[in-house]
Amino acid sequence: MCHPAVIAAVSIAGSLAGGAVQAQGVRQQAEAQAKAEERRAELADRQKQVNQTQASFERKRTLEQRERIHGQNRAVSAERGLSQTGSLVDVQDDTDYEIAQNIEAIRYRAEGQRDNLAFEANTARERAHSSRRAGRIGASSAILGGVTSAFTTLGNAYYQFSKN
């Protein structure tokens, strides 16, 4: 049978090693979670750019549509012998007003999406930071648990030896 001191030494080493392994696992898990959150933040940042490009395209397309409508109105009025004043100008003003409203709607929608995505990206970065902090705390806790267990084993072994 093994000497009690050997058993105590093995138990202490096991407690310390177990704490270290558990700490490493906690750190790796926290780092993986943090990286996943950072990827979410990157995705939100990329989506902001995509939305901005899309909004620019929609604004440009709307302005081109305005030019086509004006051109069609001028052509129709010229065919009918109407002058570039009066009701034709009123129609063009109405068209311009509607186009301006569409462009503003595009801008507001793009700004809202941008703000939401910026918030989402910042929140993901905060979660990544919190995850890393929790990993450090968890790792420290695991190491402390291993050290405490080792000291408990050492104390019990000392008590057993002092009794004999």
**CA–CA distances in Å: residue 140 to residues 22, 26, 133:** 10, 9, 11
State which H helix or E strand residue 27 sits in. helix 4-79
Q: Helix, strand or coil for residue 122? A: helix
* Torsion over CA: 152, 18, 143, 141 (sign): negative
What's the confidence (pLDDT) of residue 164? 66
In one letter, which amino acid is 94? D
pLDDT per residue of the chain (164 residues) written in tens, 0 to 9: 566 666 777 777 777 787 887 888 888 888 889 999 999 999 999 999 999 999 999 999 998 988 888 888 777 777 777 666 667 777 788 888 989 999 999 999 999 999 999 999 999 999 999 998 888 888 888 888 877 887 787 777 777 777 76
State which H helix or E strand residue 60 sits in. helix 4-79
This prediction's pTM: 0.64
Q: DSSP character for 83?
A: -
What's the confidence (pLDDT) of residue 146? 79
Check residue 2 and give left, alpha or beta (phi > 0: left; psi -120 to 50: alpha). beta
Which residues, 6+ apart, have CB-to-CB distance to 134 below 8 Å? 30
